[in-house]
Amino acid sequence: MGPDEAGPTGHDGTHGGIVAAGTAVDQRAVCACRAQLHAQVVVPHPRARSRTKRAPRPDRVRLGRRQAGGSFTMVDVTAAPIGRRLREIRLWRGLSLRAVAELAGFSASYLSLIERGQRPVDKRSTLESLAAALRVAPSELGSSFPPAGRADGLIAARTFLTRIEEALSDIEVGEGEATEPWTGIRTRLDEMAAARFRNDYTRQAELLPGLIADLNGCVGGGRRRDALQALCGVYQRAAVTAKTLGVRGLPAFAALRARQAADQLDDPAWHGFAAMVTASTSGRARAIALADRSIDALAGRLDDVRCREMAGALHLGAALSEATMGRPDRAAERLDEAERLATGIADGHGFAGMLFGPTNVRVWRLSVAVESGEGGRVRELAAGWDVRTIPVPGRHADYWSEIGRGLAASTATHEEAVAALLRAEKLAPQRIRAHPLIRETVADLHRRSRGRALDRDLRGLAWRMGVGA
């Protein structure tokens, strides 16, 4: 489990985390989630017709600064994916630069630099503050993808979203009949696990609808418990896949279904797992509250290694939320507690495939350091251990991406940052190319390289992400 599987996507808790840990799921919650799912689109594309002021087309936007003598210095908006989208939504809402800056807690000059691609949005806290000011989900700002032909399956993955939505919306937990024996379903679950650990969102999206239907069909048979446990994991993958693809509403519905499956299992470890999925679709404050409630419920059961791993994983997710909210001391306390809980646990897939163990805690320390503005410490934090003890290439990619993001802050470590990001991309191309903060980092490296001989590797990476000329 990595930061973007456990970290919230919302900014205020109003669109996600509908069901609190420890509460029963009722039909009203399902109806509320369905309504949310079918009202996903909040901000139309700026090219859409509107009776209000129309935003300029992205390919006609003049972004830059008027120079002495009347000349105009242009900035390539393709190098600032979040800045470009920020400007589109701000203009569509009819808000001034100063108004949005004040709502987000930034200066107008700083916000202007972001819009013009001269400052990267390289922290979750910045992204979420901007989203809150514009009254949209963070995914609305960070959901742009590489152009067709460079997306390596991300576009294909989106073609399965309608089927995933229908499976989540139409199939209640325990309804239906399986279309094949358990052995065949088990084979597909193994394929799903393999796709998850290599961050292949296309294959996951393709498998999800059928697995949701068939596993629910098995709940009423002799494999009830196995099917419910597998459903918890499949619903979590639906939430993560939809979140990665920038779909609003769908992750919350998937979390709701995970909660329903966990309620039928009536197992504290699985209740904790469902709470973690719910927290990942909630705002930061709510995510921390959900984590604390679940950690308290697990406190008396830590002799069960599954519960200990679950409590540790909840602390890790909450640590990143604390760092995002500007509370590094609390984040450090949670990381220390997770490290304590990981004592005696071997690195591996662990309970529910969460990868909880000593090495994974160290990877999370990197993520929290970068989010806290301490990217310069990544070398120190990465010394003396080997991420390859985690048997998942996708998690290795997370490690290298955090190293790259941390080193990118300094011009002196520019080349090392690019090398780390290239290693991450090689390990998990879909995940790395779709990640908004990594895309911002690459765009900023690309911008800062102008005027010098541009490194061919960086130029290629920027091109594949669609953030460079």
- The verdict on residue 113 lying in a domain is yes
| CATH number of the CATH domain containing 154 | 1.25.40
272 domain residue, yes or no: yes
End residue of a domain, out of 343, 365, 380: 343
257 with 216, same domain: the answer is yes
Q: Read off the tokens for 7.
A: 């970290």
Instruction: Answer with the residue of higher pLDDT: 147 or 135.
Output: 135
Whether 45 has a pLDDT exceeding 60, the answer reads no
- Which is nearest to 220 in space by CA: 174, 167, 172? 174
Q: Are residues 195 and 257 located together in one domain of the fold?
A: yes
Segment 2-17 mean pLDDT: 49
For 51-77, what is the mean pLDDT? 40
Q: For residues 130 and 157, state if they share a domain.
A: no
Task: Please check whether residues 171 and 85 belong to one and the same domain.
Answer: no
Residue 274 covered by a domain? yes
Residues 205 and 122 in one domain: no
Same domain, 155 and 129: no
Q: Are residues 112 and 218 in the same domain?
A: no
126 shares a domain with 62: yes
H or E stretch covering 112: helix 108-115
Please state, in angstroms and rounded to a whole number, the distance separating the CA atoms of residues 336 and 389.
20
Of 16-30, 249-263, 334-348, 358-372, the range with the lowest mean pLDDT is 16-30
Asked whether residue 440 is domain-assigned, the answer is no
pLDDT the model gives residue 56: 42
On whether both 128 and 160 belong to a single domain, the answer is no
Domain assignment present for 336: yes
The last residue of one of the domains, among 322, 343, 364, is 343
pLDDT digits (tens, 9 = 90+) for 408-423: 999 899 999 999 999 9
Q: What's the pLDDT score for residue 62?
A: 39
Are residue 219 and residue 279 in the same domain, yes or no?
Answer: yes
pLDDT digits (tens, 9 = 90+) for 393-410: 999 999 999 999 999 999
- Report residue 453 as tokens: 């001989």
Residue 74 has φ and ψ, to the nearest 5°, of -90, 150
Task: Determine the average pLDDT of the residues in 131-142.
Answer: 82
In this predicted structure, the answer to whether residue 47 has a pLDDT above a threshold of 90 is no
Cβ count near 324 (within 10 Å): 24
User: 316 in a domain, yes or no?
Assistant: yes
For residue 58, the 8-state DSSP code is G
- pLDDT higher than threshold 80 for residue 196: yes
* Gap between the Cα atoms of 56 and 163, Å rounded: 34
In a domain, 294, yes or no: yes
CA dist 329 and 255 (Å) reads: 29
- Environment class of residue 60 by beta-carbon count within 10 Å: exposed (0-12), middle (13-18) or buried (19+)? exposed
Mean pLDDT computed over 152-168: 86
> Taking Cα atoms as reference points, which of 226, 218, 236, 245 lies closest to residue 278?
236
Tell me the Cα Rg of the chain: 22
Q: Which distant-in-sequence residues (6+ apart) come within 8 Å of 37 by Cβ?
A: 165, 168, 169, 249, 250, 252, 253
Give the pLDDT score at 33: 55
Query: CA–CA separation, 327 vs 313, rounded Å?
Result: 19
Contact 9, 243 (CB under 8 A): yes
Which residue from 206, 214, 105, 114 is spatially nearest to 164, judged by alpha carbons?
206
Lowest mean pLDDT among 73-82, 219-228, 325-334: 73-82
Residue 454 pLDDT = 59
Phi-psi region of 43 (alpha: psi -120 to 50; beta: other; left: phi over 0): beta
Task: Measure the CA–CA gap between 338 and 335, rounded to whole angstroms.
Answer: 5
| 63 shares its domain with 167 | no
* Phi, psi (rounded to 5 degrees) for 358: -55, -40
78 pLDDT more than 60: no
Determine, yes or no, domain membership for 377: no
Rounded to whole angstroms, how far apart are CA atoms 111 and 100? 8
Q: Are residues 327 and 238 in the same domain?
A: yes
Neighbours of 234 (CB within 10 A): 27
Domain boundary at 116, 136, 156, which? 136
Residue 181 belongs to what domain range? 3-8+148-343
What average pLDDT does this structure show over 221-233?
Answer: 95
The CATH number given to whatever domain includes residue 111 is 1.10.260.40
* Residue 31 pLDDT: 57
pLDDT of residue 8: 56
Residue 389 is predicted with a pLDDT of 97
The number of distinct structural domains making up the chain is: 2
